């Protein structure tokens, strides 16, 4: 009986459907909605600032806020009564990168700024390539210049033998110490054709400062600047002499009647040494005789010369300062 009732019910349902129609449930499920999200990150040097999206507290600065629905949102960053805000669009599966600049009272889109900068650079590079292309095309169309032979440089006129000899042997060495400067600065001028085995050393100690009047004084320690050089001079006959020159300046920590510093000079010729001291405030000239050499010394110049060559030059009316 039950089987018969079921059979009749199925048969009735089959007759109520149109040909090819499939029976469906009376209640249908609602359509499934798939939400789309992106994220937001707000950079800020104010670390305790808070981020609000559509007036809802959403997180802190310098962190990525996930699951923000795609579309336009009002984003604000707040701290201690200060607020910067703006309307921005969130894109699916992308992070909207903003920066809160409280001092400028604005919230900017970093991504947009970077895109604008990238576009500017791309445009500049394209313009540069176009200029290079035009220059290359112009060079290709430029008529070839005649292959003209370059004129040979004029040969230097030969020096008078006496002048050439003076250039080589008048000045054995010239030394230029610079006083009134904190750093040790000494320049030497030697002729490598007659000077060999040249070597120099430098040493400096103490801490210096300048007064309002521009004077250099010692602040801490022993303020000493020292320069020395050793070398061998060989004359036209092949005779050689060994030299040691040592210049030293000591800076005082105050102003004395003779100035603010003391200078010392030591010169050794073949092991025999002589020492001189100068603490005058003026540019005093000191002269010293070393066997066949003459030494002149001022605050800014030390010159060792061959005495015989200097005498011959002066007697002929020449000036040693021209060499």
pLDDT band at 257 (very low <50, low <70, confident <90, very high): confident
Look up residue 59 and give its two tokens.
């997180």
pLDDT band at 150 (very low <50, low <70, confident <90, very high): low
Whether 303 maps to a domain, the answer reads yes
pLDDT at residue 304, rounded to an integer: 96
CA distance 260 to 119: 63
pLDDT at residue 301, rounded to an integer: 92
Domain assignment of residue 43, given as a range: 37-112
| Span 259-279, pLDDT tens digits | 889 999 999 999 999 999 988
Task: Let me know whether 167 and 104 are in one domain.
Answer: no
SS3 state at 282: coil
Q: Is the pLDDT assigned to residue 244 strictly greater than 90?
A: yes
Rounded mean pLDDT of 243-263? 92
pLDDT at residue 138, rounded to an integer: 80
Number of domains in the chain: 2
Residue that finishes a domain, picked among 112, 147, 169: 112
Rounded mean pLDDT of 151-166? 77
Read off the CATH number of the domain in which 84 is found.
2.60.40.1120
Decide which of 22 and 70 is more confident. 70
- 45 phi-psi bin (left φ>0, alpha ψ -120 to 50, beta other): alpha
pLDDT at residue 22, rounded to an integer: 46
Task: Let me know whether 207 and 101 are in one domain.
Answer: no
pLDDT at residue 259, rounded to an integer: 86
pTM more than 0.85 = no
Task: Let me know whether 177 and 314 are in one domain.
Answer: yes
Look up residue 71 and give its two tokens.
């579309």
Q: Is the pLDDT assigned to residue 14 strictly greater than 80?
A: no
Contacts of 246 (CB under 8 A, 6+ apart): 226, 227, 228, 265, 266, 267
Q: Is the pLDDT assigned to residue 28 strictly greater than 50?
A: no
Rounded mean pLDDT of 251-257? 89
Task: Let me know whether 168 and 93 are in one domain.
Answer: no
Whether 1 maps to a domain, the answer reads no
Contacts of 145 (CB under 8 A, 6+ apart): none
Task: Let me know whether 165 and 106 are in one domain.
Answer: no
pLDDT band at 29 (very low <50, low <70, confident <90, very high): very low
Whether 66 maps to a domain, the answer reads yes
Contacts of 206 (CB under 8 A, 6+ apart): 218, 219, 220, 221, 222, 223, 224, 251
pLDDT at residue 110, rounded to an integer: 84
pLDDT at residue 243, rounded to an integer: 97
Helices 307-315, 161-169: crossing angle, 10 deg rounding: 140
Rounded mean pLDDT of 271-291? 88
Task: Let me know whether 105 and 224 are in one domain.
Answer: no
Minimum mean pLDDT range among 12-16, 37-41, 92-96, 295-299: 12-16
Residue that finishes a domain, picked among 50, 80, 112: 112
Residues pairing with 275 in the sheet: 266
Task: Let me know whether 96 and 168 are in one domain.
Answer: no
Whether 154 maps to a domain, the answer reads no
Q: Exposed e or buried b for every residue in 139-148, given b needs 16+ CB within 10 A? A: eeeeeeeeee
| Span 173-192, pLDDT tens digits | 999 998 788 889 999 999 89
pLDDT band at 31 (very low <50, low <70, confident <90, very high): very low
Alpha helices per DSSP H over 149-221: 161-169
Whether 207 maps to a domain, the answer reads yes
Task: Let me know whether 176 and 269 are in one domain.
Answer: yes
Mean pLDDT, the chain, whole residue set: 85
CA distance 168 to 238: 13
pLDDT at residue 12, rounded to an integer: 52
Alpha helices per DSSP H over the chain: 2-16, 110-141, 161-169, 307-315
Whether 97 maps to a domain, the answer reads yes
Whether 215 maps to a domain, the answer reads yes
Whether 265 maps to a domain, the answer reads yes
Number of other CB atoms surrounding residue 209 within 10 Å: 13
Task: Let me know whether 167 and 313 are in one domain.
Answer: yes
Rounded mean pLDDT of 121-135? 88
> In this structure, are residues 283 and 263 in contact, taking their beta carbons and an 8 Å threshold?
no
Task: Let me know whether 194 and 308 are in one domain.
Answer: yes
Contacts of 321 (CB under 8 A, 6+ apart): none
Report percent pLDDT > 90 for the chain: 57
Look up residue 148 and give its two tokens.
């003209």
Task: Let me know whether 105 and 213 are in one domain.
Answer: no
Task: Let me know whether 87 and 224 are in one domain.
Answer: no
Residue that finishes a domain, picked among 55, 79, 112: 112
| Span 95-118, pLDDT tens digits | 999 999 999 899 999 877 777 788
């Amino acid at each position: 009986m039950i089987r018969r009732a079921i059979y009749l019910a199925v048969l009735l349902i089959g007759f109520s459907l149109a040909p090819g129609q499939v029976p469906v449930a009376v209640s249908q499920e609602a359509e499934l909605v798939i939400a789309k999200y992106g994220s937001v990150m707000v950079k800020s040097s104010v670390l305790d600032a808070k981020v609000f999206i559509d007036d809802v507290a959403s997180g802190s600065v310098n962190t990525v806020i996930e699951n923000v629905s795609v579309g336009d949102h009002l984003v604000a960053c707040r701290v201690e009564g200060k607020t910067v805000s703006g309307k921005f669009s969130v894109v699916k599966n992308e992070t909207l990168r903003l920066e809160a600049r409280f001092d400028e009272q604005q919230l900017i889109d970093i991504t947009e700024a970077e895109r604008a900068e990238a576009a500017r650079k791309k445009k500049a590079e394209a313009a540069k390539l176009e200029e290079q292309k035009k220059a290359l095309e112009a060079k290709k169309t430029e008529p070839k210049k005649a292959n003209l032979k370059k004129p040979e440089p004029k040969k230097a006129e030969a020096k008078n033998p006496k002048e050439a000899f003076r250039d080589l042997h008048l000045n054995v060495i010239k030394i230029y110490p610079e006083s009134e400067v904190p750093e040790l600065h000494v320049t030497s001028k030697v002729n490598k054709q007659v000077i060999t085995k040249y070597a120099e050393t430098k040493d400096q100690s103490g801490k210096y400062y300048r007064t309002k009047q521009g004077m250099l004084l010692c602040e801490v320690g022993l303020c000493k600047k020292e320069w020395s050089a050793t070398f061998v001079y060989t004359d036209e006959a092949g005779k050689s002499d060994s030299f040691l020159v040592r210049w030293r300046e000591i800076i005082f920590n105050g102003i004395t009647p003779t100035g603010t510093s003391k200078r010392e000079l030591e010169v050794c010729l073949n092991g025999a040494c002589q020492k001189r001291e100068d603490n005058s405030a003026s540019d005093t000239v000191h002269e010293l005789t070393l066997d066949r050499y003459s030494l002149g010394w001022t605050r800014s110049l030390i010159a060792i010369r061959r005495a015989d060559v200097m005498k011959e030059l002066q007697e002929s009316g020449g000036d040693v300062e021209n060499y």
